[in-house]
């Protein structure tokens, strides 16, 4: 048993038998696969950070647009009237308002003909 181990140990190149190389190899394997911050966890965190950065960009863009709309609403009376007509269906006495709805998904579509009329 001892002889077979020694014979196989001698077949390994001398630079790989160095205790420093063995310790470094053990450390690298441990850090890559067994540590609590291994490669897979780091990859997941990197993807999560990228996703959150996209969300931050999306919301900052939305905030910028909303601030611009608010500025327009507070300064321009024509924009106020347009907003009231579009969002609150306000109208003048001599006008009629017709609302056309576009369904985004299959779940929003009415199942019966009468739901189209009375919804």
Nearest to 50 by CA among 62, 42, 38: 42
> In whole numbers, what is the pLDDT of the chain averaged over residues?
83
Q: What pLDDT is stored for residue 30 in this prediction?
A: 85
Other Cβ atoms closer than 10 A to 90:
12
Structure tokens that stand for 1 in this block: 């048993």
Note the pTM of the prediction, 2 decimals: 0.51
pLDDT tens track for 73-96: 899 989 888 888 888 888 888 888
Q: Which residues contact 93 (CB under 8 A, 6 or more apart)?
A: none
Q: Which residues contact 63 (CB under 8 A, 6 or more apart)?
A: none
* 38, pLDDT greater than 70: yes
Q: What pLDDT is stored for residue 106 in this prediction?
A: 65
pLDDT tens track for 47-58: 999 999 999 999
């Amino acid at each position: 048993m001892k002889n077979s181990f020694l014979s196989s140990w001698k077949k390994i190149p001398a630079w790989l038998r160095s205790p420093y190389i063995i310790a470094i190899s053990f450390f690298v394997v441990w850090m890559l696969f067994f540590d609590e911050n291994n490669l897979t966890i780091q990859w997941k965190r990197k993807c999560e950070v990228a996703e959150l950065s996209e969300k931050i960009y999306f919301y900052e863009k939305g905030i910028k647009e909303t601030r611009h709309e608010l500025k327009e609403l507070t300064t321009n009376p024509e924009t106020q009237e347009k907003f009231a007509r579009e969002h609150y269906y306000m109208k003048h006495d001599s006008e009629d308002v017709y609302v056309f709805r576009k369904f985004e998904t299959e779940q929003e579509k009415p199942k019966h003909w009468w739901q189209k009329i009375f919804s």
